[in-house]
């Protein structure tokens, strides 16, 4: 299962993505991923791998992609100011939530990790 978040950012239609946020001063991308996931979803996670970085083609922001696994917690909408909804989706359902495709290394990681 994967957890995706819907943000109300004024874009037409729902905007689904994985938990995400800004890297704070003195923080690594991995530390930010752990912190943001807990702040947004209530889940405590641990880093499995840094999958890569790129400038996002739509936002033009530098994005770091970090694979994590759940250590503890029950997913819930922990930050209603930033998020509108959480959804648990299976690997085959993901394209319905993120129809524009994923960053190549993220897609490869998910394909390798979740098939079967």
Q: Does domain 2-110 have CATH number 3.90.79.10?
A: yes
Residue 49 CA to residue 39 CA, distance in Å, equals 20
pLDDT, one tens digit for every residue, the chain (116 residues)? 688 888 776 666 668 889 999 999 999 999 999 999 999 999 999 999 999 999 988 889 999 999 999 999 999 999 888 888 999 999 999 998 887 889 999 999 999 998 75
Statement: the pTM of the whole predicted model exceeds 0.85? yes
Domain parsing of the chain, residue ranges:
2-110
pLDDT score at 25: 97
Is the distance from CB of 109 to CB of 67 less than 8 angstroms?
Answer: yes
């Amino acid at each position: 299962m994967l957890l995706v978040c819907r943000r109300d950012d004024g874009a037409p239609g729902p905007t689904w993505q994985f938990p995400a946020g800004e890297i704070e001063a003195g923080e690594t991308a991995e530390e930010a991923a752990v912190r943001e996931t807990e702040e947004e979803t209530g889940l405590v996670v641990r880093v499995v791998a840094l999958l890569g970085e790129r400038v996002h083609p739509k936002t033009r922001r530098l994005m770091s992609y970090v694979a994590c696994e759940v250590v503890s917690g029950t997913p819930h909408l922990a930050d209603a100011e930033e998020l509108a909804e959480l959804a648990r989706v299976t690997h085959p359902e993901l394209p319905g939530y993120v129809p524009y495709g994923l960053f190549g290394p993220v897609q490869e990681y998910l394909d390798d990790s979740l098939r079967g």
